[in-house]
Amino acid sequence: MRHALAPALLILGLCQSAAIQAGWNPFREEAAASRPTAKDHEVAAAIAAFRAKDPDMKVFFDKAYGYAVFPTVGKGGIGIGGAYGKGEVFVRGRHVGYTSLSQLTIGFQFGGQAYSEIIFFRDKATMEDFQAGNFEFSAQASAVAATAGASADADYSNGVAIFTLAKGGLMYEASVGGQKFSFTPRK
């Protein structure tokens, strides 16, 4: 059994390496709540990049009950794949906590990619489900690639709307099926 997990652990290690190269630092301690951290700046830059790519996305920021922003998600795979990223959670524009996502996939895949992801939560119930740690995307979940005007046709599915923005790499699509999330409230 231990040998069967070795490829998955290797892939998750490669995803963390890609995320670190793209700017995520797992060893950085969060600074005091009163002063912005490097992660705060990364999140602000990711939001600005999404808004610049698709100005119509403003309606999601304005009307969503809350949202989670992952400035960098590292994804890679060779038959078995994985993804990992850390981010911040906002309710009505107020920073309320931290989140991480992990994903393990099996199937035909090859390459690596770094991308940003934003998940908008339509209502309080969906947001509370996310904060309770009972949240994951099924294999059928799909994301909208942020491009000019893409959000105009986007809508919520099961209370969430998901957008991705490629940062680089060899994989064209940023699949979100099978993602699991954790949430830690801000102190």
Residue 20 confidence (pLDDT) above 50? no
> Quick one: pLDDT band at residue 112, thresholds 50, 70, 90?
confident
> What pLDDT is stored for residue 118 in this prediction?
96
> What pLDDT is stored for residue 19 in this prediction?
46
CA–CA distance, 145 with 154 (Å, rounded to integer)? 10
Which among 142, 147, 130, 168 has a CA at the least distance from the CA of 57? 147
| Range in 25-29, 38-42, 48-52, 160-164 the model is least confident about | 25-29
CA–CA distance, 162 with 121 (Å, rounded to integer)? 9
> What pLDDT is stored for residue 155 in this prediction?
87
Residue 27 CB neighbours (<10 A): 5
